[in-house]
Amino acid sequence: MKQILQRIKRRLIKSQLARSDPAALIRRGLRWLLPTFRRAARHSPAYRTLLAEAGVDPATIKTPADFVARCPVLDKSNTFKRFGVDQLLCDDVPITSLASVLTSSGHGAGGFALGLSTRQQIRNTSRLVDLGLEMAFAIDRRRTLLINCLPMGVTFSSDAVCVANVSVREDMACAIVQQAGNLFEQIILCGDPLFLKRLCDYSQDAGLDWRRNRIHVIVGEETFPESFRDYLAGVLGIDPDDPASGLIGSSMGVGELGLNLFNETRETVALRRACIRDPALSNNLTGVDPAVSPAPTFLVFNPLRTFVEVINPNVHGVGDLVVTVMDKATPVPLIRYRTGDRMQFISTAALREAAAEVPGALTLPSLPLIALHGRATDQLPGRGHVDLFKAAIYHHPAVARHLTGAHRISIKADAIHWEVQAVRGTTANLGEFANSLRNALPDQLGSTLQAVCLPYDEFSYSKTIDYERKFVYWVP
């Protein structure tokens, strides 16, 4: 009976969100913003210190406009690097109520950050996970197996689907699909791009036929180009342009804030693919030249849970992503937290105008939309964007099959030097692969670009990829 009631509630919420107007949802969500702020100001010693240093009296923050105009912007350096967790922790949260601690990847500046959750939050998280899965994959109508291949001890709990937490073990994931896949009506794979590449290649060597199952993919940890989506689709038997086929979609989370803050939908994937096919559409919608930076990832978010800002915007509205999770029970409140990513809002009016220019029908998402441009450090100094290089790797699937996906970009003597790692055992045709990769890059990157494809063991950056750490493609 409990599961039936939860299923009915999920479908009701899904229906309500689908019928909502993004602006109306944002207005509804604002009612949770100030209570979240006041609770943090009252109960977090570290946040009280930060407010005092910024000259902010909490009693004077009476509107969302006050909040945006006057409250300080937090980041990993001025919170976790400066304060102990005991100072960041709200004093209304008993230590005995804490149920889990999740670390960030440690990839960005400032070292590690921590995401703490209470037992009640863990129970609520299962419901949020199931709601997200229902909205994306209709799990209430299909028996579903979720194979979680995320590293660093990231696990899922669910009241609606069967979960296999295999971490970065491609052999275990394939064995589960081969031996238990036919028990389910659909399978959802969850992992980061480099490991999903490894999983697909391993499965082909093992002779696994993915087409026997209905497959979806949730891609996390980092941004990826459309050529990578196409690479996965080709192996897994998915047609990204067919609404009846499986969905390959990204999910963006921040360890200290939450595992899923933004996500792609079928509508946003269709929009991005339309932008890839028509660079003028991408430029009109985002103001970004596709020759300098690829089409951004279009993501939606739930404004009833998350307050999103962009600060320090450029002329196109692209700036630093700042997030406030509106949860009055969180142990460590991170108010106006800068994630290190670049984004811009896409208005409903601009979206309608863009959709009208696309041949065929583009369905508009019901949730608010952002365009994610990757990490702030992904932009090379006047030389393009890291994702342009990722796109080149998967431009020719036959070439990508011989590459791990790992690569390193550096600037030496005013020239771009690009080193790409081949898979184990590939030593022939490396020069041809390098030429193919270089030709897949935009001409605007310059004639001085040098590309080299190296045997697996000669690639000096993380020779043995353990998939437990985010890979560093470029060091500013």
pLDDT at position 353 = 80
316-367, pLDDT tens digit by residue? 899 999 999 998 889 999 999 999 899 999 888 888 887 776 666 667 777 8
- Cα 360 to chain center, whole Å? 28
Q: Decide: 423 and 200 in contact? Cβ < 8 Å.
A: no
Is 12 buried (19+), middle (13-18) or exposed (0-12) by CB count in 10 A?
exposed
Tell me whether strands 415-422 and 403-412 are parallel, antiparallel or unpaired.
antiparallel
pLDDT of residue 228: 95
Closest CA to 351 of 361, 364, 370: 364
pLDDT digits (tens, 9 = 90+) for 134-158: 888 888 889 999 999 988 677 777 8
pLDDT at 44: 94
Distance CA 18, CA 366 (A): 6
Helices (H), 291-368: 348-356
Report angle CA 458, 221, 281 to the nearest 5 degrees.
Answer: 100
Give pLDDT, residue 383: 64
Tokens of 203: 């499965």
**What residue type is assigned to position 391 of the chain?**
A
**115 phi and psi angles, rounded to 5 deg:** -110, 115
pLDDT at site 260:
82
Residues 6+ away with beta carbon under 8 Å from 350 = 285
Map tokens 């030709």 to a residue. 439
Can you tell me the distance from the alpha carbon of 216 to that of 189, in angstroms, rounded to the nearest whole number?
A: 6
- Quote the pLDDT of residue 289: 73
- The whole-model pTM stands at 0.90
Any alpha helices (H) in 164-225, and if so which ranges? 170-180, 193-206
Secondary structure class of 120 (helix, strand, coil): helix
pLDDT score for 72: 96
Count CB-CB contacts under 10 A for residue 461: 16
Q: What angle do CA 312, 318, 321 make, to 5 degrees?
A: 65
Q: Tokens 């999920």 — which residue? A: 10
> What is the pLDDT at residue 292?
67
Tokens coding 311: 């600060």
Distances (CA, A) of 443 to 296, 357, 407, 420, 446: 20, 27, 20, 19, 6
Sheet strand arrangement including 215-219: 162-165, 144-148, 186-191, 215-219, 248-254, 258-263, 297-300, 369-375, 337-346, 319-325, 306-311
- Half-sphere CA count of 43, side-chain side, radius 13 A: 20
pLDDT of amino acid 128: 79
Which pLDDT tens digit goes with each residue over 33-60? 999 999 999 999 999 999 999 999 999 9
pLDDT value of residue 97: 86
Coil/strand/helix, residue 418: strand
Average pLDDT of the residues of the chain:
86
Question: Digits of tens for pLDDT over the chain (476 positions)?
Answer: 555 556 655 555 555 566 667 778 888 888 999 999 999 999 999 999 999 999 999 999 999 999 999 999 999 889 988 898 889 989 998 888 887 777 766 555 556 777 778 888 777 777 878 888 888 888 888 999 999 998 867 777 788 899 999 988 999 999 999 999 999 999 999 999 999 999 999 999 999 999 999 999 999 888 899 999 999 999 999 999 998 999 999 998 887 887 788 999 998 998 899 888 888 888 888 887 766 677 899 999 989 889 999 999 998 899 999 999 998 889 999 999 999 899 999 888 888 887 776 666 667 777 889 999 888 888 887 667 888 899 999 999 999 999 999 999 888 777 888 999 999 888 888 999 999 999 888 877 766 788 899 998 888 886 566 666 777 887 77
Domains of the chain: 1-377 (3.40.50.12780), 386-458 (3.30.70)
Side chain identity at residue 450, one-letter code = Q
pLDDT, tens digit (0-9, with 9 covering 90-100), for 112-139: 777 778 888 777 777 878 888 888 888 8
Alpha carbons 208 and 402: distance in angstroms, whole number: 18
- At residue 129, the pLDDT reads 81
Distance CA(393)–CA(449), nearest Å, equals 15
